[in-house]
Amino acid sequence: MKSHVRYACRLCGSSAPRWQGRCGACSEWNSIDEVAGPEPSPRARVSAGALRDVAGDAAASLSSGIGELDRVLGGGFVAGSTTLLYGEPGVGKSTLALMTLCALARRHDVLLIAAEESAAQVAQRARRMGDIPARLDVATTTSVESASELLGERPRTLCVIDSISAMSDDALSSVVGSVPQIRAAAERLCSIAKATDTALLLIGHVTKDGELAGPRALEHLVDTVIRIEGDRHGTLRTVRAQKHRFGPTGEVGLFEMVGDGLREVLDPSMSLRGPELDVPGVVLTVTNDGSRSFVVEIQALVAHAGGSTKRVAYQLSSPRLSLLLAVLEARCGVDTSALDVFAATAGGLSASEPGVDVALALAIASATLGFAVSPSVVAVGEVGLAGELRAVPGMARRIREARRLGARAIILPASADVVDGDGLVLRRCHSLVEAIAAARLDVPLAA
């Protein structure tokens, strides 16, 4: 095949019609290199057919052996597909990948290509998790050519590349980790995975802003993009699919970081709940995430400000906190203008959906006015700027989860489409003022 010459920026990967001193895309000087490539082949004739005549069988999934990961993947990995797993340093990317390899190696041949660690380091981590299966192989290389040869000589069910940012293509002159290198490595590895029906798992890094490092084209090349999140000083880890060509992306998997790796959180509501606190500023709510519902404890603390006031939200939405403080002052007479306000979720699970508005507002009102909300009462609903309560989706699921965790009553919007409380007393409220009155301990729980 004939080759032709083209020019590309070694930093951003953009193409140029001729050599130039400055890249027009990223404005860097002396970053344009001459790149040899194959001559474009002539276009083949394309024909169209009826869509209803095309077979649409669902792709068969291979269980990873980890229930929480299978939940996010919609059943497991698909042969020939490429999955990108990324997250902040130390959050557990390599640990989750190694757990998956060990689980699959009990039934299938799997391979780990370590581009950042030695085989001894990988083995040391694997032994902390337990026995190492015999069908788990490891190779240490940063060469895309070597990785392709390993997959071509003996196909594997799953291959993990740790990490894609450390892989390099010898045909490119750009530095390792640059945009052209990452894109070229991903393209070649995706092709070999499809050719060998190998499920490929790429581990990626993040930038200082928390975004996926590398070109945006990397997300388009792969079939699935998964992000693992969590406070590195805490134990809870959440796994979410941001893109998934073989299923929905709304599911979330929960893990707990322990001494020997990651452990699945099978009952999140029970794990996230702490001791029942009969103190001001603590309110229970139920949040929906994907097909799951979690009982979450919202905590608020107010204190006299020494100077300028502070509003701090941890694992909650900061804009929603500011909005609710304004609504409490304007519509409910709860003045926090001279107070520092701190709000957080207990347990480390993020709860930023509008369905937690009522609980967050009640926690702030409770802490400011000095009354406690019963631990047997949960609050669910969205708060509008007029102080009205608005219904949120999935109320029936929220009520079932609250009852399972021992709640006796639920404060909810009057407009909520719920007929039966499933054993819970329904305290329907039109406004936030009514919700504050219903949350006081001296309000009886009878309907």
Instruction: Give the pLDDT of residue 171.
Output: 81
Per-residue model confidence as pLDDT tens digits over 177-230: 888 888 889 999 999 999 999 999 999 988 766 677 666 678 888 999 999 998
Claim: this prediction has a pTM higher than 0.85: no
Selection from 245, 294, 241, 232 nearest residue 266 by Cα: 294
Phi/psi at 360 (5° precision): -65, -45
Residue 267 pLDDT class (50, 70, 90 cuts): confident
Do 72 and 239 form a contact (C-beta atoms < 8 A)?
yes
- Measure the CA–CA gap between 246 and 77, rounded to whole angstroms: 9
- The model's pLDDT over 375-385, given as tens digits with 9 standing for 90+, comes to 999 999 999 99
Task: Please state, in angstroms and rounded to a whole number, the distance separating the CA atoms of residues 193 and 191.
Answer: 5
Residue type at 19?
W
Length of the chain: 447
Confirm if 366 and 300 have CB atoms less than 8 A apart. yes
Chain-centre distance for alpha carbon 30: 38
- Quick one: how far is CA 401 from the chain centroid? 22
Please report the pLDDT score of residue 39 as a whole number: 54
Q: Look-up: residue for tokens 């979690």?
A: 294
Q: Are 392 and 418 in contact (CB under 8 A)?
A: no
Two tokens, residue 435:
């919700």
Confidence (pLDDT) at 30: 84
